[in-house]
Amino acid sequence: MHRRFLLQSAAAFSFAPLASPRSHPVSRNTRVRPGQPGWPTEARWAELNKAVGGRLIDPKPLLEACVQFPGSDECKQTLKQLFNPYFIGDQISGTQVSGWYNAWTPAPSAKAVAARNARDVQAAVHFARDHKLRLVIKGGGHSYQGTSNAADSLLIWTRPMRDVTVHDGFIPLGGEGRDQPLPAVSVGAGAIWLDVYEAVTTKAGRYVQGGGCTTVGVAGHVQSGGFGSFSKTFGTAAGSLIEAEVVTADGAIRVVNAHRDADLYWALKGGGGGGFGVVTRLTLRTHPLPELFGGVNGKLRARTLETFHALVARFVRFYAEALSNHPWGEQVAVRPGRMLSISLLTEGFSEDRIRQIWAPMIAWVSDPVNQIEVVEPIDCWSTHARGFWDVAGMRASGSKAMRYDDRPGVRPNQAWWSGDQEQVGAYLHGYDSLWLPTSVLEVGKQAGFVDALVEGAAAAPIQLHFNKGLAGAPPQALDLARDTATNPSVLNAFALAIVANGGLPMYPGVPWKGPNPSVPNTDAEAVAKAMNPLYRVAPDGGSYVSESNFFNERWQDAFWGRNYERLRRVKQRYDPDGLFVSHHGVGSEVWSADGFQRLV
C-alpha cells in the first residue's frame, strides 16, 4: 500500500500577515526589544494569540520558583528534576545544557508560540518578520551552542508536534510516476528520537538513522547532519531525508524534496538547525533492521607512560586492521591517568563473532609482559536489535542500561541511556571536535597519530567517535551523505575526535555556587592542549556543527567546507533579510553576536 500525506499547496495555506501599524519606523537592519519603539502592543499580541489558537505564552525562567521562593516545595521539585532530560524538554524555557562559560547563559524569550502545526508557525513567522522581532526556534533544546535560546525574542516552540507515521511506501510530492515508493517515517518537528525508534524499530521492526541520545530533537538533528550509533552502516540522518515541510521567511509553507525547491531541500540536509526556515515535518527513509546489535566495553590502564604508548599504538593498529569498517560505531577514549576506555557498538554480529574479532586485542592485553591493568574486563555482547529501544521490556527486566522518567502522567516509553546522564543540564567549560582522515591510519603515519593521542590525553580525555566519520561506510550511505550540506571531510574521516569538559547545572537561580572562574578557564585550556596535537596531524579535518567549539573563528570552513558558499546562496534566496539568525549559522557573520543588529 502506498501512503503519503496529501498536502495543499503553500498558497492555499497562506493567509495575509497581521497588519502592523507603527508610530515609529523600524530599520530592516535592527531587531526590536521589549520597551523599544516598534515593539508590538498588547492588542497586536492578542491578535497573534488568536491566530495560534490561544497558544501564545509568556515564558518564565526555568528556576523562577527558586529565585522568588528559595526553599519552597516548588523550587525543591524543580531542582530534583534538573537531571531529567524529559522534564527539561517539557519546559518552554528549558535547555538541555545549562550554558557555556563566557559564551551563553539560558534566558527565556519575551514571548513564545507553542506551535501545533505549520499554520501556527506561519502566523508566528509573519508576526516576527512584520514587527522586526528576533526569532528563535526550539524543539528538543539540545543545542550546545545555545542556538535555541535568545533573550528578548519570540520563540517558536515545536515540541507539541510529535506525531510519528510509518509508511510502507512513500513517494515525495512531485515524484509520482518518477520515484519508486520507499519505506519511510514521517515525523513532527517536536519529536525526539525515542519517539521514532519506538514506532519504527520496536513496533514496525525496521531501522531509521537517528541520534544516539534518545531525547535529541529529530528536526534539529537532521538539519545539523545527524549522526547516531550506527551511522557507519546507514549514513547520516540528513542523508535519509526524503522530504520536509518548512515555513520560510516569507511565511510560505513549502513541501521540499528533490523535485520541489531542491536547493532548500539540500540546505536542510546538514546546513544547520533553523537557518533556512522552521521545519514542521520530516520524512526519512527506513532500512531493514539487522537481526543483532552488539558491543564491546572495557577499561584498561597502562602502568607506565611507555606501556601506555604501546597500548594506544596496539589499539590503533587493531582498529585499522579489524574495525575500520561499517559495522563498528560509538567510541574509544584515551584518558589522563594512562587509561583507555572502550564503549563500542556494532550491528549484525553474534557475541561469538565479536569475541573472535577481538581475540587478538584481548590476548595482547592479557599478556603480562605488556603491563596492562584490566580495570574493567573487555566484555563482548549482542542482543536482538528489535528490543534495543524497547523501554517497556527494559523496565520489566530491571535493566540498568536506561534511566526512566517516572513523573506521574508521562508517556510510559520515556527513558534515556544511563551513559548520557552526565550530559543532562551540563554547564560547558570547553568543547572542540575534529574529523580525523583515514590517512592517519596508514602504516607510516600511525606513529605520529599515536604520539598526538598520548600527548593530548595528558591534558584531557580524547573521545574517538568512530560512528561520526563515514570512511568505510557502504556506497549507498556515502552517496546519500555526499548529497548533503555537511562538510565533505566526513566522507573520508574514520572518526570524530571530541574533547569536552564541564560541570554541574548552572541554570540561573540554582542555589549552589558556580565554579571558581579559574576552574572553567583551566578546563577550557585543557581542551585546547588536548586538541592541538590532533590539529597538527589533521589540520584540515573540519568540525561537526552540533558538537564543536563555540569560539571557532573559522567556523564556516570547519562546519561546511566547500559547501558554505552554496549554502550562502540558498540563504540569500529564501531569507534575504536574515529572519533566521543563530550563532555560527549560515549568514550570521553579517549580524551582531546577539542577532539584533545587522553589521553590513
In the chain, residues under CATH classification 3.30.43.10 are 24-159+574-590
Cell 534575504 sits at which residue?
576
Strand partners for 543: none
Q: What is the pLDDT of residues 505-514, one digit of tens each?
A: 999 999 999 8
How far, in Å, CA of 256 to CA of 171, rounded? Answer: 12
Kindly state the DSSP code that residue 199 receives in the 8-state scheme: I
Instruction: Give the whole-number percent of the chain exceeding pLDDT 90.
Output: 94
Tell the CATH superfamily of the 291-382 domain: Ribosomal protein S10 (3.30.70.600)
Cβ of 219: how many Cβ atoms within 10 Å?
A: 28
Instruction: Write out pLDDT tens, residues 297-316.
Output: 999 999 999 999 999 999 99
Which DSSP string corresponds to 212-251? SSTTSBHHHHHHT----TTHHHH--TGGGEEEEEEE-TTS
Cell of 497: 575526535
- Whether the pLDDT of residue 567 is over 80: the answer is yes
> Residue 3 pLDDT > 70, yes or no?
no
Residue 383 has pLDDT above 50, yes or no: yes
The arithmetic mean of pLDDT across residues 539-552, rounded, is 97
HSE value, Cβ hemisphere, 13 Å, CA-based, for 17? 17
| Mean pLDDT across 154-175 | 98
User: CA 365, CA 373: separation in Å to the nearest integer?
Assistant: 8
Cell of 5: 500525506
What pLDDT score was predicted for residue 29?
87
Q: pLDDT of 397-444, one tens digit each? A: 999 999 999 999 999 999 999 999 999 999 999 999 999 999 999 999
Q: Which residues pair with 427 in a beta bridge?
A: 503
d(CA 310, CA 304): 10
Residues of the chain with CATH 3.30.70.600: 291-382
What are the pLDDT digits (tens) for 185-231?
A: 999 999 999 999 999 999 999 999 999 999 999 999 999 999 999 99
164-289: what fold?
A: 3.30.465
**E-only strand ranges, 35-188:** 56-57, 111-114, 135-138, 154-157, 164-170, 182-188
State residue 16's pLDDT score.
Answer: 39
2 or 403, greater pLDDT? 403
Whether residue 331 has pLDDT greater than 60: yes
Gyration radius (Cα) of the chain, Å = 24
Residue 73 class from Cβ within 10 Å (0-12 exposed, 13-18 middle, 19+ buried)? exposed
pLDDT reading at 62 higher than 70: yes
Dist. CA 177–CA 174, nearest whole Å: 9
Res 27: pLDDT: 66
pTM of the complete model: 0.94
pLDDT mean over 498-519: 95
Checking if the pLDDT of 19 tops 60, the result is: no
Place of cell 524529559: 86
| Residues forming CATH 3.30.465.10 domain(s) in the chain | 164-289
Please name the residue ranges forming H helices in 269-398. 305-318, 351-366, 391-397
Q: Say whether pLDDT at 346 is over 50.
A: yes
pLDDT attached to residue 234: 98
CATH tag for 24-159+574-590 (out of 3.40.50.150, 3.40.50.1820, 3.40.50.10860, 3.30.43.10): 3.30.43.10
- The model's pLDDT over 253-308, given as tens digits with 9 standing for 90+, comes to 999 999 999 999 999 999 999 999 999 999 999 999 999 999 999 999 999 999 99
Best CA proximity match to 434, nearest among 408, 447, 422, 452: 452
C-alpha distances out from residue 142 to 86, 114, 196, 200, 439, Å: 12, 17, 17, 22, 32
What residues contact 125, with CB distance under 8 A and at least 6 apart? 135, 156, 247, 248, 249, 251, 278, 579
DSSP code of residue 72: -
- CA neighbor of 404 nearest in space, from 248, 539, 573, 215: 215
- From residue 309, how far is each of 17, 341, 374, 452, 455 by CA, in Å? 65, 14, 16, 10, 10
The yes-or-no verdict on residue 13 having pLDDT over 80 is: no
Beta bridge partners of 317: none
Mean pLDDT estimate for the chain: 94
**401: how many CB neighbours lie within 10 A of its CB?**
12
The grid coordinates listed for 194 are: 525515542
Phi and psi dihedrals of 559, rounded to 5? -85, -35
Cα–Cα distance for residue pair 432/548, rounded to 1 Å: 5
114-160: pLDDT as tens digits: 999 999 999 999 999 999 999 999 999 999 999 999 999 999 999 99
